[in-house]
Copies of this chain bind each other. A is one copy, B any other.
Amino acid sequence: MLPWSAELAGRLDHHVVDSALLRGNPLGDPHERPLLVYTPPGYDDEPDRRYPALYVLLGYTGHVAMWLNRAPFRQPFPELADAVFTRADVPPAIVVYVDAWTSLGGSQYLDSPGTGPYHSYLRDEIVPWVDEHYRTIPDRDHRAITGKSSGGYGAMVSAMLAPDVFGALATHAGDALFDVGVRRSFPELARRLRNMYDGSYDKFLADFRGRPAGTKEGDLELLEIYAYAAAYSADEDGTVRLPFDDTGAVVPEVWRRWQALDPVVMAGEPRNAEALRSMRAIWVDAGDRDEYFLDFGAVAFHRAVRAAGVPDERVHFELFDAGHGAIEYRYPLALAWLAHRLS
């Protein structure tokens, strides 16, 4: 009963998938991963029917069990998603909640020697596993990938890196236009490191791990950029290269590696532009007061999508009145739109 729980019209299955790819990952994170799979109302009544699949990714610091967290006066997204599929006007779909957490807070859904092969794990293990265990329509034209913040990033890059796997995407305030957004945070971080940790990330990490998380100012901000660096600019041996120096300035050779993984920049590569052109549906939105300036990331990715030659009728773009937080009410809008587009 609300607010403590809600009966779903559909069904949410809890699984654990043993990932061969994540075995021995550089951070020593678990290779057995939780996976939530939602089947819409009626799934069990029509045993021959097959469904599109919508893959949902989490933002930075998120792991899949956090989808079940309950917030004041709002319902968890899986319940909002369930409500979408009780509407007569929305075609049913399977929703897959993917976990790509790392002990640094996230993987950006990429393959990296700093964190592990999370892109491959999603593409080569999770998707086949779902197709095997659920009555999906097992082709890219009936798979979409969505997410918010780093999850929106994951949606953009997964679609570009694996257009054979995903045929549609939605990004809500997804990380993009690094030069405008994330770069802005470097001077603050360089100052914190200098003033609190002798300029050393190692000192910060040692301190952070030796006490309750979040008890010093800047904890999560410092960790976040480290996690991104582990995803974007780790060397083959796992060494994490930081994108800024002790004056907060970008380190050019590292920054180039970050930029090569900026969805806006990626979309300019012919191969990725072709991938975007192959998408059946692309949803891009963000709050116009986003604290990380991801509204500009959305604008720029939208432009890149158009520049890639994606016809306007396949694209939904929107800036709405909000910041970065408390926008999970946006996800069901994209979910319903994608369900239509994939059906």
Interface residues in chain A, defined as those with a beta carbon under 8 Å from any beta carbon in chain B: 1, 3-5, 30, 32, 34, 61-66, 68-70, 72-74, 99, 101, 105, 177, 179-181, 184, 186-187, 190-191, 194-195, 212-215, 220, 223, 246-250, 288-289, 293, 295-296, 299-300, 322, 325-326, 329
Bound together, the chains give a CA A212 to CA B289 distance in angstroms of 17
- Contact status A105-B212, CB under 8 Å: no
Bound together, the chains give a CA A74 to CA B68 distance in angstroms of 16
Q: Which residues of B contact A248 (CB under 8 A)?
A: 180, 293, 296
- Contact status A247-B177, CB under 8 Å: yes
- Contact status A247-B299, CB under 8 Å: yes
Bound together, the chains give a CA A64 to CA B5 distance in angstroms of 11
Query: Distance in Å from the Cβ of A19 to the closest Cβ of chain B?
Result: 13
Q: Which residues of B contact A249 (CB under 8 A)?
A: 177, 179-180, 296, 300
* With known contacts A69-B70, A180-B249, A249-B179, A3–B293 Cβ distance under 8 A: no
* With known contacts A63-B4, A187-B296, A195-B288, A73–B34 Cβ distance under 8 A: no
Q: Which residue of B lies closest to A249 (CB)?
A: B180
Bound together, the chains give a CA A285 to CA B322 distance in angstroms of 33
Given A191-B288, A247-B296, 15 extra CB contacts under 8 A: A1-B30, A3-B65, A4-B65, A5-B65, A66-B69, A72-B220, A177-B249, A179-B249, A181-B187, A190-B296, A195-B288, A212-B329, A215-B326, A247-B300, A249-B300
Q: Which residues of B contact A293 (CB under 8 A)?
A: 187, 191, 248
Q: Which residue of B lies closest to A297 (CB)?
A: B247
The quantity of this chain's copies bound in the complex is 4
Query: Distance in Å from the Cβ of A24 to the closest Cβ of chain B?
Result: 17
Q: Which residue of B lies closest to A299 (CB)?
A: B247
Between A and B, 22 residue pairs with Cβ closer than 8 Å are A4-B34, A4-B65, A5-B65, A61-B72, A63-B70, A66-B69, A69-B70, A73-B105, A73-B213, A74-B212, A179-B250, A180-B247, A180-B248, A180-B249, A181-B187, A184-B184, A187-B293, A190-B296, A215-B326, A246-B299, A249-B296, A249-B300
Q: Which residues of B contact A296 (CB under 8 A)?
A: 187, 190-191, 247-249
Pick the 6 closest A-B CB pairs, nearest first: A73-B213, A61-B72, A247-B296, A69-B69, A4-B65, A212-B329
Query: Distance in Å from the Cβ of A334 to the closest Cβ of chain B?
Result: 15
Bound together, the chains give a CA A230 to CA B256 distance in angstroms of 31
Query: Distance in Å from the Cβ of A251 to the closest Cβ of chain B?
Result: 12
Q: Which residues of B contact A214 (CB under 8 A)?
A: 73-74, 325-326
Bound together, the chains give a CA A342 to CA B249 distance in angstroms of 35
Bound together, the chains give a CA A263 to CA B296 distance in angstroms of 30
Q: Which residues of B contact A186 (CB under 8 A)?
A: 180
